[in-house]
Structure 1
Amino acid sequence: MLPPAIRQLELSKIFTLIEPGPVVLVTTCAGGKNSIMTISWTMVLDFSPRLAIATGAWNHSFAALRQTEECVIAIPTVDLLDRVLGIGTCSGADTDKFARFGLTPIPGNFVKAPLIRECLANIECTVVDIIDQHNIVVLDAVAAYVDDARRERRTVHAVGDGSFIVDGRKLDRREAMAEKLPAGV
């Protein structure tokens, strides 16, 4: 028998226990029109520059992502949380999200999708695979940029129930792990 303080969680809620990487903004450009979508389910695949995001046809920008097979993953910080939420709760079908949320598009070097000036980092990506059964888009990073002048560096992680966790203190254990990491990491 379980101790009284331990309660059973509905299986449909387990995603709140294993939150993925930070909430990101994904930009696309199709037909000369820039768009942005908020994505809270991201993952790194292996130790390569391969990433994946979870999204699908319910998201207006997904059609552009499928058509152009490229995007930018922009990593916002906690000071942008309200804009990130706003972007995720309106549709690019009828909204210029860059204008509405005061974000600055910057041309990329390798893809047509724009970087976002206000974000801490931007990663230009090409689509490797779309796994429709699981709504997963597999991406290869082709270039990455970090704004070293940006003071705010804390990212936001979605729990999945409308609440968020902000990155806290950074703990450095690189020396202890150095001999355990694969070569080149």
Structure 2
Amino acid sequence: MSRSPFPLSRVYGLLEPGPVLLLSTAHQGRANVMTLSWHTMMEFEPPLVGCVVSDRDFSFAALKATRQCVLNIPTVELAQKVVDCGNCSGRDTDKFATLGLTPLPAEQVAAPLVAECYASLECRVVDTRLVNRYGFFVLEVVQAWLDADRKDPRTLHHRGYGAFMQAGETIQLPSKMR
């Protein structure tokens, strides 16, 4: 096996573990949605998710002010809308209208669910200690929604620089974990 140097600026594409998300917020009467791939599970019960939102993103101020959002999980059928969402700013674009996404009322937070997504996780910010330094928010999932009619959903996984993978075949192996 041969090894060659790999650019440090592309390491995240090797480690990206989870699906690309659409993070939705609502602030000052305005709903917004952004593409997010920098997130990680932190705890199982209650479910805690860490995510990085840059202070350059329009959603950052809304998330910091309201301390609420929805993590929406799109499938490959929404791939182009996911990319388009990430390529424009909520500062000057109503992304829901422009991209043909449908906001639905959430049950426990003010931010909307995205109807076209396979699953939606209503979240509250529970830790902001790393926000100012890294843009890292710790979210607690307070309500989860799943479209049970979608069998074998294929999620998108960002590899960097416009490259994506889709989730593949599910395999089941013996495990003591439940």
TM-score tier (shorter): over 0.9
Superposed displacement of residue 112, structure 1: 0.5
Q: TM-score, normalised by structure 2?
A: 0.93
Match of 2:145 in 1: 145
SS in 2 for 1:61: helix
Gapped regions of structure 1 (runs ≥ 5): none
SS in 2 for 1:90: coil
Aligned residues of 1:78 and 1:152 also touching (Cα < 8 A): no
Superposed displacement of residue 73, structure 1: 0.3
CA distance in 2, matches of 1:105, 1:164: 25
Q: State the superposition RMSD in angstroms.
A: 1.3
Opposite residue 154 of structure 2, the aligned amino acid is R
Match of 1:177 in 2: 175
Match of 2:95 in 1: 97
CA distance in 2, matches of 1:13, 1:163: 12
CA distance in 2, matches of 1:67, 1:133: 17
Match of 1:114 in 2: 112
Opposite residue 8 of structure 1, the aligned amino acid is P
* 1:85-141 superposed Cα distances (whole Å, 9 cap, x missing partner): 111111111111110111111100000000011000000000012212222111000
Aligned residues of 1:22 and 1:40 also touching (Cα < 8 A): yes
Match of 1:67 in 2: 65
* 1:48-83 superposed Cα distances (whole Å, 9 cap, x missing partner): 300011112110011011110000000000010100
Identity percentage over the alignment? 41
SS in 2 for 1:66: helix
Match of 1:25 in 2: 22
CA distance in 1, matches of 2:106, 2:152: 23
SS in 2 for 1:133: helix
Gapped regions of structure 2 (runs ≥ 5): none
CA distance in 2, matches of 1:70, 1:117: 18
| More displaced 10-residue stretch of structure 1: 151-160 or 111-120 | 151-160
Superposed displacement of residue 156, structure 1: 0.3
Larger Rg: 1
More strand by proportion, 1 or 2? 2
1:15 corresponds, among 7, 12, 35, to: 12
Q: TM-score, normalised by structure 1?
A: 0.90
For these two proteins, the number of residue pairs brought into alignment is: 175
Query: Is 1:129 aligned to 2:127, yes or no?
Result: yes
